[in-house]
Amino acid sequence: METTHLQLLENLLKHYSPSHHEQAAVQFLVDWMNAHGFSAYIDPAGNAVGTLGQGAVKVLLLGHIDTVTGEIVVRQEGNLLYGRGAVDAKGPLATFAAAASLGAITGVQVCVVGAVGEESESHGASYLRDHWQAPDYLIIGEPSRWNRITLGYKGSAWVTLTAQTETAHSASGQTTACELAVQAWNALKAWCDEYNRPSSDSVFTQLTPTLRRMNSHSDGFADTARLELNFRLPPKFDLETLYTGITERLPAGVTMSARPDGVPAFRGDKNNPLVRSALRAIRAMGEQPGFVVKTGTSDMNLVAPIWNCPTIAYGPGDSSLDHTPNEHIDMQEYLQAIRVLRNLLEGLAEKS
């Protein structure tokens, strides 16, 4: 069985699937699930969906099958398996499919979804949010290490600042568009630093800005400079507060536009049957479990606030390897996570 599960992950990695190019990987996963006891299909959004078992308890294992760009040759070096998505997040997704494939659990219906587009606009999870009823329990497939449970993610918002001035001679002394853009960035950075001062010891509670891209150009009449910024949002800091705070601090001549895919932070409760089952499952493997919160975002931010059901994120892998050219997963950790997740699901049946 371990060989089958390792082959599942390796073959999934060999289907390179950056956002908007997931079709082959989705078809592979659907075919694999149909061959291993699931009733599986591709939904209208392009997600791979597989259901196994029947029962009053509905558990959704929501992973994502897309990756960032940058193909990595799939290879094994010792106990490490390299490939784009090994950690983020085909390792956790394969863990979901493998654990569920071990057989139906009395009283529990398990649904595994390999969602598309998580690394872009999350249209796969958005479709589920808008068309599915809330499950009883939700587990998001993201790396947390096999012995840790992720309770929450910071929010995220992308904005573009545009500074524009009339073209002038370089000796004129006039403030340039580039200088205006720098002033705007400095003002926003100072605002965030002030907001963060009371919570300087906790990144999860900080408002964190990052300057991701910058460019400038001139058409001979006007000079334009653009900055693309990402803000990581702490709990209780909504998007409207962010956008208002930005616009109030921009110098004259600078405007802001926001991408529509911003999401607020989410942090789940840790006193519920799902968390307790996860803790028991990790302890049963002889390890002391830990809780973590993440400074990134995931599909948890999108669906959990709407469905309002017990939610965690779980999966093997070192998240510091996300999006890196060295992305790899320890295969023994992957197999350990399958055992933990299987015990977790069986524990939910016992409590139903």
Tokens describing residue 203: 């990144």
Both tokens of 171, joined, read 């000796």
- Asked whether 188 and 209 are in contact (CB, 8 A), the reply is yes
> For residue 84, what pLDDT is reported?
98
What average pLDDT does the segment 310-336 reach? 96
Least confidently predicted of 32-36, 45-49, 129-133, 193-197: 193-197
Convert the pLDDT of each residue in 208-232 to its tens digit. 999 999 999 988 788 899 999 999 9
CB–CB of 19/9 below 8 Å? no
Find the mean pLDDT for residues 238-259: 95
How much is the pLDDT for 218? 86
62: which strand partners?
113, 140
Extract the tokens encoding 187: 């003002």
Amino acid of residue 266: F
**Which CATH superfamily, name and number, covers 2-153+265-351?**
Zn peptidases (3.40.630.10)
Class of the CATH domain delimited by 155-258:
alpha beta
Banded pLDDT at 175 (limits 50, 70, 90): confident
Residues of the chain with CATH 3.30.70.360: 155-258
H or E stretch covering 28: helix 23-35
What are 39's two structure tokens?
A: 């009733």
The answer to whether residues 328 and 87 touch, using CB atoms and an 8 Å cutoff, is yes
Separation of alpha carbons 45 and 179, rounded Å: 44
Q: Which amino acid is at 34?
A: N
State what percent of residues in the chain have pLDDT above 90. 89
Would you please indicate which residues are annotated as catalytic (active-site) residues?
Answer: 66, 118
Positive or negative: CA dihedral 280, 284, 288, 291: negative
Q: Tokens 């932070």 correspond to what residue?
A: 265
Which tens digit of pLDDT belongs to each residue from 258-289?
Answer: 999 899 999 999 999 999 999 999 999 999 99
- Where does the chain hold its CATH 3.40.630.10 domain(s)? 2-153+265-351
Packed helices 331-351 and 273-283: angle between N→C axes, nearest 10 degrees: 130
Please choose, from the candidates 67, 140, 100, the residue with its C-alpha nearest in 3D space to the C-alpha of residue 315.
140
